[in-house]
Amino acid sequence: RLAQFITTIFMLVFISAGLIYNAEHMVNPDFSNFFATAYFVLVTLTTVGFGDLHPVTAAGRAVVCLTILLGVALVPIELSKLLEASNFLGESDTDKESNRDSESSL
* Close Cβ partners of 51 (under 8 Å, ≥ 6 residues apart): none
Average pLDDT, the chain: 86
pLDDT at 27: 95
Tell which residue, 64, 58, 55, 49, has the closest CA to residue 16.
64
pLDDT at 98: 60
- Determine contact, residues 23/58, Cβ cutoff 8 Å: no
Range of lowest pLDDT (17-21, 33-37, 62-66, 85-89): 85-89
13, HSE (Cβ side, Cα atoms, 13 Å): 20
pTM: 0.75
Query: pLDDT class for 90, splitting at 50, 70, 90?
Result: low
* Close Cβ partners of 41 (under 8 Å, ≥ 6 residues apart): 12, 13, 16, 17, 20, 67
Tell which residue, 33, 32, 21, 30, has the closest CA to residue 54.
30
